Amino acid sequence: MTLEVQNLTRRFGRMLALDGASLDAGAGEVVALLGPSGCGKTTTLRIVAGFETADSGSVWLGGRDLSRLPPHGRDIGLVFQDYALFPHMTVADNIAYGLRRRGRDAAARAARVDAMLDLVRLSGLGARRPAQLSGGQQQRVAVARALAIEPQLLLLDEPLSNLDAKLRGALQAELRGILTRIGTTTLIVTHDQEEAMALADRIAIMSQGRVLQLGTAREVYERPACRFVAEFLGSALWLEGRVEPGGFVTARGTALACAPPSRIASRHGLLVRPEALRIGAAPEGWNALSAQVTGARYRGAVTLLDLLVDGAAPASIELERGTSPPPPGATLALAAAPADCILVPEDAGG
Amino acid sequence: MIGAALDLAGRVAARVAVLAAVAFLLVPLLVACLMSFDDRSFLGPFPPRDFSLRWYRAFLDNPAYTDGLFVSLQLGVIAAAIATAVGLAAALALADPRLPGREAMEAAFLSPKFIPTVVIGFSLLVFTARLGIYEPMTRLILGHVVITLPFTLRAVAASLIGVKRSQVEAAMSLGASEFRALWDVAVPAARSGIVAGAAMAFVLSFDEVAVSLFLSDAFTQTLPIALVAEMRANLNLTIAAVSTVFLAATVVLLVLLDRTIGIERLAGDVGARG
Q: Residue B164: list chain A partners with CB under 8 A.
A: 82, 84
Phi, psi of A205 (to 5 degrees): -90, 125
What part of A 100-129 touches B (C-beta under 8 Å)?
101-102
The C-alpha of A102 sits at a distance from chain B's nearest C-alpha, in angstroms, of 7
The beta strand positions in chain A, using DSSP E, are 3-12, 15-25, 30-34, 56-61, 64-65, 76-79, 153-157, 186-190, 202-207, 210-215, 237-244, 247-250, 255-257, 268-272, 278-279, 287-298, 303-309, 313-319, 331-336, 341-345
Phi, psi of A204 (to 5 degrees): -105, 120
pLDDT at B267 over 70: no
Contact in structure between B95 and B121 (CB atoms under 8 Å): no
Burial class (CB in 10 A: 0-12, 13-18, 19+), A157: buried
Same domain, A9 and A112: yes
Q: Residue A187: list chain B partners with CB under 8 A.
A: none
Same domain, A329 and A183: no
Alpha helix segments (H runs only) across A86-222: 91-101, 106-119, 135-148, 165-182, 193-199, 217-222
pLDDT at B262 over 70: no
Provide the residue type at A217 as one letter.
A
Q: In the prediction, which pLDDT does B236 show?
A: 80
Q: Does A216 map to a domain?
A: yes
Same domain, A173 and A273: no
CB contact under 8 A, A72 and B176: yes
pLDDT at B130 over 70: yes
Name the closest residue on chain A to residue B179, using Cα atoms.
A72
For A224-261, the pLDDT digits (tens) are 999 999 999 999 999 999 998 878 999 888 999 998 77
Same domain, A107 and A194: yes
- The separation between CA A238 and the C-alpha centre of its own chain, rounded to angstroms, equals 21
Q: In the prediction, which pLDDT does A227 show?
A: 94
Q: Residue A70: list chain B partners with CB under 8 A.
A: 172, 177
CB contact under 8 A, A145 and B170: yes
Tally the domains of chain A.
2
Name the closest residue on chain B to residue A132, using Cα atoms.
B274
Q: In the prediction, which pLDDT does B273 show?
A: 32
Task: Choose the final residue of a domain: A195, A222, A249.
Answer: A222
Residue of A142 and A324 predicted with greater confidence: A142
Same domain, A137 and A176: yes
Q: Is B173 on the interface with A (CB under 8 A)?
A: yes
Q: Residue B172: list chain A partners with CB under 8 A.
A: 51, 70-72
For B16-44, the pLDDT digits (tens) are 999 999 888 888 888 888 888 888 877 77
Nearest to B83 by CA among B122, B120, B112, B103: B112
d(CA A10, CA A20): 9
Region B202-224: what's the mean pLDDT? Answer: 86
Region A123-132: what's the mean pLDDT? Answer: 93
For A81-108, the pLDDT digits (tens) are 999 999 999 999 999 999 999 999 999 9
d(CA B56, CA B40): 13
Q: Does A57 map to a domain?
A: yes
- How many beta carbons lie within 10 A of that of residue A103, not counting itself? 8
Share of chain B above pLDDT 70, in %: 95
Q: What residue numbers bound the domain in which A306 lies? A: 230-345
Q: Side by side, which strands form the sheet with A331-336?
A: A278-279, A331-336, A287-298, A303-309, A313-319
pLDDT at A319 over 60: yes
DSSP bridge pairs for A344: A269
Q: β-strand A255-257 against A287-298: which pairing, if any?
A: unpaired
pLDDT at B240 over 90: no
The C-alpha of B173 sits at a distance from chain A's nearest C-alpha, in angstroms, of 5
Q: Side by side, which strands form the sheet with A268-272?
A: A255-257, A247-250, A237-244, A268-272, A341-345
Alpha-carbon separation of residue A85 from A118, A124, A316, B111 (angstroms) = 18, 18, 42, 36
Q: Is B171 on the interface with A (CB under 8 A)?
A: yes
We report the CATH number of the domain holding residue A243 as: 2.40.50.140
Q: Which of A88, A129, A138 to mutate to test binding with chain B, by most B CBs within 10 Å of its CB?
A: A88
Q: Does A192 map to a domain?
A: yes
Region A264-287: what's the mean pLDDT? Answer: 90
Region B99-108: what's the mean pLDDT? Answer: 86
Same domain, A45 and A22: yes
Q: Does A266 map to a domain?
A: yes
CB contact under 8 A, A86 and B185: yes
For A161-184, the pLDDT digits (tens) are 888 888 888 888 889 999 999 999
Alpha-carbon separation of residue B202 from A6, A192, A256, B160, B226 (angstroms) = 56, 54, 85, 21, 18
Q: Does A170 map to a domain?
A: yes
Q: In the prediction, which pLDDT does B63 show?
A: 87
The C-alpha of A50 sits at a distance from chain B's nearest C-alpha, in angstroms, of 9
We report the CATH number of the domain holding residue A41 as: 3.40.50.300
Size of interface A-B (CB pairs under 8 A): 65
CB contact under 8 A, A131 and B274: yes
Share of chain A above pLDDT 70, in %: 99
**Cβ-Cβ contacts under 8 Å for A9 (sequence gap 6 or more):** A16, A18, A19, A20, A21, A54, A55, A56, A57, A209
Region A283-308: what's the mean pLDDT? Answer: 91
Q: Which range, of A31-40, A213-222, A331-340, B101-110, averages the lowest pLDDT?
A: B101-110
Same domain, A184 and A245: no
Same domain, A67 and A173: yes
Contact in structure between A227 and A55 (CB atoms under 8 Å): no
Same domain, A78 and A131: yes
Nearest to A23 by CA among A86, A177, A40, B127: A40
CB contact under 8 A, B274 and A81: no
Region B233-246: what's the mean pLDDT? Answer: 83
Same domain, A310 and A341: yes
d(CA A298, CA B19): 64
Q: Does A317 map to a domain?
A: yes
Domains by residue range for chain B, with CATH: 36-266 (1.10.3720.10)
Contact in structure between A325 and A303 (CB atoms under 8 Å): yes
Q: In the prediction, which pLDDT does B242 show?
A: 85
Same domain, A9 and A140: yes
Work out the pLDDT band at A217, boundaries 50, 70, 90. Answer: very high
Q: Does A350 map to a domain?
A: no
Q: Which of B174, B182, B184, B194 to mutate to test binding with chain A, by most A CBs within 10 Å of its CB?
A: B174
CB contact under 8 A, B174 and A51: no
Nearest to A31 by CA among A216, A201, A193, A215: A201
The C-alpha of A13 sits at a distance from chain B's nearest C-alpha, in angstroms, of 13
Q: In the prediction, which pLDDT does A66 show?
A: 92
pTM listed for this prediction: 0.79
Q: In the prediction, which pLDDT does B266 show?
A: 53
CB contact under 8 A, B174 and A101: yes
Q: In the prediction, which pLDDT does B271 show?
A: 37
d(CA A112, CA A123): 12
Region B208-220: what's the mean pLDDT? Answer: 85
Work out the pLDDT band at B214, boundaries 50, 70, 90. Answer: confident
The C-alpha of B78 sits at a distance from chain A's nearest C-alpha, in angstroms, of 29
The C-alpha of B164 sits at a distance from chain A's nearest C-alpha, in angstroms, of 7
Q: In the prediction, which pLDDT does A273 show?
A: 94
Task: Choose the final residue of a domain: A222, A238, A259.
Answer: A222
d(CA B40, CA B55): 10
What part of A 49-68 touches B (C-beta under 8 Å)?
49-51
Q: Is B180 on the interface with A (CB under 8 A)?
A: yes
Q: Residue A78: list chain B partners with CB under 8 A.
A: 169-170, 173
Q: In the prediction, which pLDDT does B270 show?
A: 38
Same domain, A188 and A245: no
Name the closest residue on chain B to residue A94, using Cα atoms.
B171
Q: Which residue among A49, A71, A84 places its CB closest to the CB of B167?
A: A84
For B70-88, the pLDDT digits (tens) are 999 999 999 999 999 999 9
For A52-77, the pLDDT digits (tens) are 999 999 999 998 999 889 999 999 99
CB contact under 8 A, B174 and A85: no
CB contact under 8 A, B173 and A82: no
Task: Choose the final residue of a domain: A193, A222, A251.
Answer: A222
d(CA B5, CA B213): 55
